[in-house]
Amino acid sequence: MRSGEELDGFEGEASSTSMISGASSPYQPTTEPVSQRRGLAGLRCDPDYLRGALGRLKVAQVILALIAFICIETIMKCSPCEGLYFFEFVSCSAFVVTGVLLIMFSLNLHMRIPQINWNLTDLVNTGLSTFFFFIASIVLAALNHRTGAEISAVIFGFLATAAYAVNTFLAVQKWRVSVRQQSTNDYIRARTESRDVDSRPEIQRLDT
């Protein structure tokens, strides 16, 4: 009986010792929250952006640019071909760049690259696309041979121009709001720093 009691005492001491050592060990098992993980697994679509005016315009621009590019690609003969090549380049470039921006904004990927002014980037893209789509559509309308593919390309080119023009107007307004907000934040930060300096006389004595 005595040996059994001693064994029970030893087991109790061993279990308590292991619990204490486990609690004090720095190598504790940790789990990383799912929300803090980065990479492709953390991508989430932003339905609010896609339902908004800018998101719908982006989707419309991508579709119109793609249809215009497909229409111009179905043309087998051209003379002269400069207007067709220019329209092809504009529609393809607008489709690629706008598609990338749509993915960035709809998946909130632009939030991971705060070094880039995305409002200004969107404004530049929509402004240039409006201008070049308008010029390319006019040139193609003047030099086309009245085939179905050319007429369709011109129509979708002007529709894309209208979509980009509306987006440019909204992007200008959004960029102005962001500039005003940034200037307001800078002013508030400067006022806060000046008040901190005024409330700490030891800093003023060090400066003098």
pLDDT tens digit sequence for 169-206: 988 888 788 777 777 776 677 767 666 666 665 555 55
Whether residue 41 is predicted with pLDDT greater than 60 in this model: the reply is no
Whether residue 8 is predicted with pLDDT greater than 90 in this model: the reply is no
Q: Which amino acid is at 163?
A: A
What is the Cα–Cα distance from 103 to 108, expressed in whole angstroms? Answer: 8
Whether residue 20 is predicted with pLDDT greater than 70 in this model: the reply is no
Residue 108 in contact with residue 143, Cβ under 8 Å? no
Quote the distance between the C-alpha of residue 16 and its chain's center.
54
Lowest mean pLDDT among 39-43, 51-55, 170-174: 39-43
**pTM of full prediction above 0.75:** no
Q: Please tell me whether residue 146 adopts helix, strand or coil conformation.
A: coil
Q: Which residue has the higher pLDDT, 173 or 78?
A: 173
Q: Which residue has the higher pLDDT, 33 or 100?
A: 100
* pLDDT, position 88: 94
**Which residues have a Cβ under 8 Å from the Cβ of 183 and sit 6 or more positions away?**
none
Rounded to an integer, the average pLDDT of 27-33 is 48
Whether residue 32 is predicted with pLDDT greater than 70 in this model: the reply is no
Q: Which amino acid is at 7?
A: L
Q: Which residue has the higher pLDDT, 189 or 75?
A: 75
Rounded to an integer, the average pLDDT of 56-66 is 95
- State the helix-helix crossing angle for 148-198 and 118-143, rounded to 10 degrees: 160
Classify each residue of 3-23 as buried b or exposed e, where b means 16 or more C-beta atoms within 10 Å of its C-beta: eeeeeeeeeeeeeeeeeeeee
Whether residue 65 is predicted with pLDDT greater than 90 in this model: the reply is yes
Q: Which residue has the higher pLDDT, 175 or 3?
A: 175
